[in-house]
Amino acid sequence: MSKQIKTDSGNLLGIPATDKNVISEHLNQLLADQHVLYIKMRNFHWNLVGPSFVEVHEFIEKLYNLIALQIDEVAERIQQLGYAAAGSMSEFLKRAQLKESSGGKKEQTFAVKELAEDSDTMARNMRKMIGDITEGYDDPGTVDILTKLLQTQEKNAWMLRRYLG
């Protein structure tokens, strides 16, 4: 459960407190997956081996720089809703649906395939969150943020799959 931040108004942004709690739970789960994916991207970036090393290495760097900005956007939205964003690796690992990958050399096809699968999973999860929030809660602000993140995630998944042929 998300920790509520002490505020003067129980109806921040015109969204009922019970709705904000559920929405912040969804967002904290997304935040956890984003962190796991970010760390996995850093791991693969550092440990990548293969014939297209430079190209894939630089592409993964671009992806983890992008997700770092998206992480901030999700954490700030949780704060806007009046809740605390998860902030430790133990919290992220408890909430995340994505799985970590150990360190050590990673063949580029394995790394790209794993990142493509995780990107697809993230896109599916975001799409479900958008549907749940749209149907159950009146929060177009969060839906707009999630829609933009979904579009980027879908493009990332597509680009990663293109590396696989």
Six token digits for residue 71: 């992480």
pLDDT (tens, 9 = 90+) of the chain, 165 residues, equals 556 554 444 566 788 888 999 999 999 999 999 999 999 999 999 999 999 999 999 999 999 999 999 999 999 999 999 999 999 999 999 999 999 999 999 999 999 999 999 999 999 999 999 999 999 998 999 999 999 999 999 999 999 999 998
Reply yes or no on domain 16-93+106-163 having CATH 1.10.10.10.
Answer: no
- The C-alpha atoms of residue 85 and residue 31 are separated, in whole angstroms, by 8
**Which residues pair with residue 107 across a beta bridge?**
49
**Environment class of residue 10 by beta-carbon count within 10 Å: exposed (0-12), middle (13-18) or buried (19+)?**
exposed
- The C-alpha atoms of residue 88 and residue 82 are separated, in whole angstroms, by 19
So where are the chain's domains?
A: 16-93+106-163
User: Whole-structure pTM over 0.85, yes or no?
Assistant: yes
